[in-house]
């Protein structure tokens, strides 16, 4: 494979099964350690989590990390030491700048339906900021056969914002739909994660459900969707903090 690409097949991730929590780790996390998968640029954590009905993570601390949650199914209840109490569901995106320190908890707010979500950690470009929380509801029609921006460094842009020169996009593609993307910052890389379906990237790499692909030293990619209802998360991120 071209040295510009780093392929992470779904089955190669670290897996944890705690009964109430099933989690797949693209990068080293908790009891999963892979010296070749500590991070990709400023992308430190990409966890694919499943939480049983009525269960969740009790209050725990974070600091100096940008934490993004993207619900896929069900509803996730959030509480934190800043007094925020909210529920996020598919179509929402949540961001938390942990900064100089925050405690929060996450629970499945339903007693009979599981919840699944992506939890992503990004190294910030500013440390010890005042903690911050935000969530928004996105118009999912704006990602049909195109990439919808859901996160950026700029509060005035579409989506949520973080303390980092990163841009996240979600797209939902029909079969044979094509898309191209150019990084917003010259030295940024890209990380693709396939939520559902499959794509072919740059006419050579096929990615299936829950596969990931890191792309560096390359500022543009093209891809084609290989099946209907293909969902793609594209992260445009600095390779050095």
Dihedral, CA of residue 95, residue 97, residue 101 and residue 106, to nearest 10: 10
14-138 and 141-238 have identical folds: yes
Write down the pLDDT at residue 181: 98
Write down the pLDDT at residue 72: 96
Delimit the domains of the chain by residue range: 14-138, 141-238
Write down the pLDDT at residue 1: 54
Query: What CATH number labels 14-138?
Result: 2.60.120.10
Write down the pLDDT at residue 109: 85
Write down the pLDDT at residue 70: 97
pTM for the structure as a whole: 0.96
- 141-238 folds as Jelly Rolls (2.60.120)
Write down the pLDDT at residue 84: 87
Q: Mind listing the pLDDT tens digit of every residue in the chain (241 residues)?
A: 567 999 999 999 999 999 999 999 999 999 999 999 999 999 999 999 999 999 988 889 999 999 999 999 999 998 989 988 999 999 999 999 999 999 889 989 888 999 999 999 999 999 999 999 999 999 999 999 999 999 999 999 989 999 999 999 999 999 999 999 999 999 999 999 999 999 999 999 999 999 999 999 999 999 999 999 999 999 999 998 7
How many of the other CB atoms lie within 10 Å of CB of 59?
11
Picking from 95, 84, 79, 239, the residue whose alpha carbon sits closest to that of residue 163 is: 95
Residue-wise burial string across 72-86, b where 16 or more C-beta atoms lie within 10 A, e elsewhere: bebbbbbebeeebee
Give the span between the Cα atoms of 153 and 135, in whole angstroms. 15
Picking from 95, 64, 60, the residue whose alpha carbon sits closest to that of residue 81 is: 60
């Amino acid at each position: 494979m071209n040295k510009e690409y780093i392929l992470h097949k779904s089955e190669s991730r670290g897996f944890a099964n705690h009964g109430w929590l099933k989690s797949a780790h693209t990068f080293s996390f908790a009891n999963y350690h892979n010296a070749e998968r500590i991070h990709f640029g400023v992308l430190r954590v990409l966890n694919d989590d499943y939480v049983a009905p009525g269960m969740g993570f009790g209050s725990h601390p974070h600091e100096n990390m940008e934490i993004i949650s993207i619900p896929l199914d069900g509803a996730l209840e959030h509480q934190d030491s800043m007094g925020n109490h909210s529920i996020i569901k598919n179509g929402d995106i949540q961001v938390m700048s942990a900064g100089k320190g925050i405690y929060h908890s996450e629970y499945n707010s339903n007693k009979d339906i599981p919840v699944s979500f992506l939890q992503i950690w990004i190294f910030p470009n500013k440390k010890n900021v005042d903690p911050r929380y935000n969530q928004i509801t996105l118009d999912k029609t704006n990602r049909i056969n195109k990439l919808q921006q859901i996160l950026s460094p700029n509060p005035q842009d579409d989506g949520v914002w973080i303390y980092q020169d990163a841009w996240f996009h979600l797209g939902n593609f029909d079969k044979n739909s094509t898309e191209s993307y150019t990084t917003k910052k010259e030295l940024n890389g890209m990380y693709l994660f396939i939520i559902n379906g499959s794509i072919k990237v740059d006419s050579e790499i096929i990615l299936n459900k829950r596969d990931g692909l890191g792309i560096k030293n390359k500022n543009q990619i093209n891809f084609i969707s290989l099946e209907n209802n293909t969902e793609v998360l594209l992260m445009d991120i600095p390779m050095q903090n």
